[in-house]
Homo-oligomer: A and B are copies of this chain.
Amino acid sequence: MTATTQQTRHDSPEQLLTPGEVAALFRVDPKTVTRWATAGRIGSIRTPGGHRRFRESEVRTLLDELTRDAETGR
């Protein structure tokens, strides 16, 4: 059973997302997400290989803010 949550033991403090997944959530190019990270607009964690991972909670918060912004007519 391995699909959404993979925790065999211990606990993960936070769930991480790949650039592609974040890009899909915002409907933008993965490259754009990378630029956000470079610009410091979103926190990122690097793998030893140099690839970026993003905190799901942070992404969700950002996404939620944008949604709320649109609704408020901002």
Seen from chain A, the residues whose Cβ lies within 8 Å of a Cβ on chain B are 6-10, 12, 15-18, 20-21, 24-28, 32, 36, 40-49, 53, 58, 62-63, 66-71
- Docked-complex contact B7 and A17, CB < 8 angstroms: no
28 pairs, CB–CB < 8 Å, chain A vs chain B: A6-B20, A6-B24, A7-B24, A8-B21, A8-B24, A10-B17, A12-B24, A12-B25, A15-B27, A18-B27, A26-B45, A26-B47, A26-B53, A27-B53, A36-B48, A36-B49, A40-B70, A40-B71, A41-B48, A42-B48, A43-B68, A43-B70, A44-B68, A45-B63, A45-B66, A45-B67, A46-B66, A47-B66
Complex Cα gap A27–B22 (Å): 14
